[in-house]
Structures are given as C-alpha cells and as structure tokens.
C-alpha cells in the first residue's frame, strides 16, 4: 500500500462519523441476521415447513420497503438524523423484548411482529444514516467510506447465515430473540458517539407531509442524474428479478446436479462480494461513481450470460464468483451518486423513491420468471437479464463526463 493510500485510509478512519456508523452497522447486522435465520428456522419447525408461513417471513421483511420507504424517507428529512437512528434502534429492541415476553405467555405467531416492526423502523433509520454521510463526511471520502460500508454488508452475507443458524440451533428461539434485542441496544449506544444534530437557526416553512412528498418527486424528476439513475435502477431490478428464482433450475437442469448444490453457488457469489469490497475500494480511488456502477453492472451481465450457457459446475461457480466480485461496485456507485447529486434536505425522499423502484421492478420480473421458464429456455432468460443490465449501463452514458473526479485523479492531473 502506497503512502498516499495509507494517508487516505487513515483520513477515512479518523472520521468519527464513519467509525461510529460502521460500529452501529456491525451490531445491527448481527441482530438482523440472527433475526432472519432464527425466525425462519423457528417457523419451519413450528409449521412443519408450511410454505405459506415461510413466505410470510419474506412479506414481513420486504413489504415495509414498499409501504414505508418513501414515508420514512420524508420523515427522515424532517427529523434530526442522529436522534432518529437512536430512537429506531431503541424501539426495535423494545419490540423484540415484547415479543420475547409474549412467547412466554401467548401465541408463537407473534414472532412475525419482530421482523415486521424492525423492518418498518429501518425505513426511517437508513436514510438518516445517509444524511449523516452527507453532513459530516468530506466529499473526497464519501466513495471510499461507502466502499468500507458495503464491505461490512458483504462480510455478513457469508457470516450472517452461519451466526443466525448457530444461535438458534445451540440456544433456541428465546436466546436468539434476546441477542437481537441486545444487538439493537448496542447499536443505539454506538450512535450516541455521533456529533450532535445540527439545529438550523432558520425557521422551516410550514409544509404538510403530502406537500413534502410531492416536492420529493418533483426534485427527482427535475434532476437529470437522479432520473437517469432511476431508469438504471429499474433496468437492473428487472434483470435481477428474472434470474433470482431460477438458481435451483441452473443446478438441476443446466448442470444436472442435486438441488442441494445451490448453496455452493450462493457461497461463491458471497465470497466474491467479500473480496470485492477491497476491489471496489481500490477502484473507487480512481473511478467516478458512474464508472463504478457501470463496471458492476457489466460484470453482472457477463455473469448472467456465462451462468445461462454453462453446463460445467466449476465454470458456473467461476461466473458466480466474478459477478459477486464486482457487485459492491454497484452499491457503492449508486449510494455515492445519490449523495453527490442530492441536497441534504432531500436525501431521505430520494432514497425513499429509489429503493422501492428497484425492489418493485425486481418483484415484477420475479413474478414473470416462472411463466417465462415454462415457455422459453433458461438460457434465454439469463441472456435477457444480461441485456437489461446493458440497457441500465446505456442510461448512464450521458453522465459519464459529468461525474465528480475522485481526489487521487485530481492530484495526478
């Protein structure tokens, strides 16, 4: 590592906001993954694998993104970010402990409430964290900070299922719920280290919630970078949704292997993401976020084509790993572009529009993938997903010359 790189990494971790948010995210990820897998295994055990009951876990996890993402983002723009994040973690912990008490005296079905309530609160907390990045992190460190932030998430994609499964199998659901609550409390305690919320001396104009929501949509529509990013989101969501339910058919039909081998595809992708955090960190020093996003989407397109065509297990694993390796570039590019092209007062609402846009298009194409699988070959479906990724890249072309140049590029020039 060169002296300039050491200096940049040193500057990154000297930033109190970045250190604190990373510590909070660490505790939150422990709580979330213990929650996801413990509740999943518990419901499977209680219902003897009832598919409707199991699917309700995903509904409780993802439905709040549609119903509360934009509302949460709007309130996040109104409220103080530090205070909002702390209260969200405290309320998540409280809800978990209420569920714990209810399990002693009432129905086990209340377990769904833990997932639903904490998922709702995350729609208020996550945009507040983005606002803190905008307020307290110098622009030259934003992309690098997002790289480290994304690496933590990638690491838990590998460790999270292991931790969640271990906790449930070794200690049971009551201990798992208690661990969730403690993890949320530790996250709230970490957030106390953040700088105090800035209170503007200027009085805010009196506006209603609906007026602020409308202003959020107008803001995105009037911003060319955000509008193009939304189109890119939609194309990427459609591509991801087409392929997500079909992994098991890649294993059983294209490779002729037992369905249990699907776990190795997921592991290859996850390991690629963990290592890809370092790759993205290196690329983020030289590339604009538009280029990072395009690199990640191009890698996904290549991965889709390779996975769709391959009939050799090792080759399929290699394409999964390659796609995972550059997947962090997508997340880092998106978050950096949002921060660079959005005023602090609109961060929450912009997030509240972009996230449901991606999830919504993903769900739409997921609902179509089974029908498509019944009518055309799985190879063609994966090729169509790759084309959608290329379309997403093409929507970003007008912005390639307009992005902020990273600090290291500025120095070299």
Residue-wise pLDDT tens digits, 288-332: 888 989 999 999 999 999 999 999 999 999 999 999 898 888 888
pLDDT (0 to 100) of residue 35: 84
405 or 263: which leads in pLDDT:
263
Given a cut of 80, is residue 397 above it in pLDDT? yes
The Cα–Cα gap between 220 and 234 comes to 14
Please report which helix (H) or strand (E) contains residue 170, including its range: helix 139-191
Q: What is the mean pLDDT of residues 109-118?
A: 78
- Alpha carbon distance 361, 67 (integer Å): 15
CA 15/CA 4 separation, integer angstroms: 17
Buried-state track 277-310, b at ≥16 Cβ within 10 A, e below 16:
bebbbebbbebbbbbbbbbbbbbbbbbbbbbbeb
- Cα 61 off chain centre by: 13
What's the helix, strand, coil split of the chain in %, to 5? Answer: 85, 0, 15
* pTM of the entire predicted model: 0.75
Residues 189-211, buried b or exposed e (16+ Cβ, 10 A)?
ebbeebeeeeeeeeeeeeeeeee
> Is residue 408 scored above 50 in pLDDT?
no
Average pLDDT for residues 129-140, to the nearest whole number?
Answer: 80
Task: Give the CA diameter of the chain.
Answer: 68
* Contact assessment for residue 194 and residue 83, using Cβ atoms and an 8 Å cutoff: no
CA distance 381 to 363: 16
């Amino acid at each position: 590592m060169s002296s300039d790189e050491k200096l940049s990494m040193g500057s990154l971790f000297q930033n109190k906001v970045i250190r604190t948010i990373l510590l909070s995210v660490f505790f939150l990820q422990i709580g979330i993954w213990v929650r996801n897998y413990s509740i999943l295994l518990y419901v499977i055990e209680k219902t003897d694998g009832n598919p409707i009951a199991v699917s309700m876990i995903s509904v409780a996890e993802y439905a709040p993104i549609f119903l509360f993402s934009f509302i949460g983002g709007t309130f996040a723009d109104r409220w103080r970010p530090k205070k909002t994040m702390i209260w969200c973690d405290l309320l998540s912990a409280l809800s978990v402990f209420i569920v714990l008490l209810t399990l002693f005296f009432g129905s086990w079905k209340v377990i769904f409430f833990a997932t639903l309530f904490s998922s709702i609160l995350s729609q208020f907390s996550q945009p507040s964290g983005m606002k803190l990045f905008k307020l307290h992190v110098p622009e030259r460190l934003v992309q690098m900070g997002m790289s480290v932030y994304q690496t933590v998430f990638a690491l838990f994609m590998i460790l999270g299922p292991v931790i969640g499964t271990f906790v449930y199998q070794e200690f049971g659901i009551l201990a798992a719920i208690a661990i969730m609550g403690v993890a949320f409390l530790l996250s709230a305690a970490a957030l106390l280290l953040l700088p105090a919320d800035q209170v503007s001396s200027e009085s805010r104009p009196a506006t209603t919630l609906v007026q602020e929501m409308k202003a959020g949509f107008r803001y995105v529509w009037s911003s060319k970078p955000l509008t193009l990013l939304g189109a890119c989101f939609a194309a990427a969501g459609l591509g991801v949704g087409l392929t997500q339910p079909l992994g098991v058919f890649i294993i059983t039909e294209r490779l002729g292997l037992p369905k249990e081998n699907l776990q190795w595809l997921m592991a290859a992708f996850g390991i690629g993401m963990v290592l890809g955090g370092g790759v993205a960190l290196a690329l983020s020093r030289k590339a604009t976020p538009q280029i990072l996003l395009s690199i990640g989407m191009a890698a996904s397109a290549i991965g889709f084509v390779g996975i769709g065509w391959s009939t050799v297990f090792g080759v399929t694993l290699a394409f999964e790993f390659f796609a995972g390796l550059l997947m962090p570039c997508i997340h880092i590019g998106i978050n950096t572009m949002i921060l660079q092209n959005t005023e602090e007062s609109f961060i929450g609402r912009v997030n509240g529009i972009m996230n449901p846009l991606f999830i919504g298009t993903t769900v739409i194409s997921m609902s179509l993938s089974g029908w498509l699988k019944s009518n055309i070959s799985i190879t063609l479906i994966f090729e169509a997903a790759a084309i959608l990724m290329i379309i997403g890249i093409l929507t970003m072309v007008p912005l390639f010359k307009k992005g902020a140049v990273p600090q290291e590029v500025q120095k070299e020039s």
